[in-house]
């Protein structure tokens, strides 16, 4: 397992930004991701929390040696987004959003000022 620490992650994040690997969500609840490497090879990254420590696991050579790799860094960013989306979905209100009414002054075809009213982007 690799400990997720800002100090060790900075370089890996830089590499991930340069290489831009593709990250696929395999199981959002179990936090398992598939990251495509620089040569099109895919590695599996898993995240876990143990004793308050954020841990990651990658099945590439560096990851197996317990080193931080850019697969973990790339998947970590997707993991943060995915987990916050899961929380939002769980706590999302059931009621639909209220329609958005927008009034604005526009010029009519004859140059006269008119008040246009939009509801959710539709002129009414
Ligand atoms: Zn890796």
| Model confidence at 116: pLDDT above 70 | yes
Residue 82 lies in a domain: yes
Give the pLDDT of residue 117. 84
Distance (angstroms) between ligand 1 centre and the Cα of 108 equals 60
Residue 31 CB burial class (10 angstroms; 0-12, 13-18, ≥19): buried
Ligand 1 midpoint to CA 41 (Å): 11
On whether residue 54 sits in a domain, the answer given is yes
84 Cα: distance to centroid of ligand 1 (angstroms):
23
**Distance from Cα 71 to the centre of ligand 1, integer Å:** 4
Q: How many distinct structural domains can be found in the chain? A: 1
Q: Residue 115: inside a domain, yes or no?
A: no
Least confident of 32-36, 40-44, 74-78, 101-105: 101-105
Tell me how far the alpha carbon of residue 56 lies from the centroid of ligand 1, in angstroms. 10
Look at residues 21, 65, 13 and name the one whose alpha carbon lies nearest to residue 41. Answer: 21
Residue 83 resides in a domain = yes
Quote the domain boundaries for residue 63. 2-91
Q: What is the pTM of this model?
A: 0.70
Q: 114 in the Ramachandran plot: left (φ > 0), alpha (ψ -120 to 50) or beta?
A: beta
- Domain-located, residue 114: no
Does 72 map to a domain?
yes
């Amino acid at each position: 397992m690799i400990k997720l620490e800002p100090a060790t992650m900075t370089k890996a994040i830089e590499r991930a930004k340069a290489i831009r690997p593709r990250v696929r969500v395999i199981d959002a609840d179990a936090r398992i991701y598939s990251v495509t490497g620089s040569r099109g090879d895919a590695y599996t990254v898993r995240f876990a929390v143990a004793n308050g420590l954020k841990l990651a696991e990658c099945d590439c050579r560096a990851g197996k040696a317990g080193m931080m790799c850019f697969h973990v860094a790339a998947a970590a960013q997707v993991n943060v987004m995915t987990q916050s989306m899961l929380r939002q979905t769980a706590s999302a209100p059931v009621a639909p959003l209220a329609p958005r009414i927008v009034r604005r002054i526009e010029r009519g075809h004859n140059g006269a000022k008119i008040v246009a009213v939009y509801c959710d982007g539709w002129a009414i």
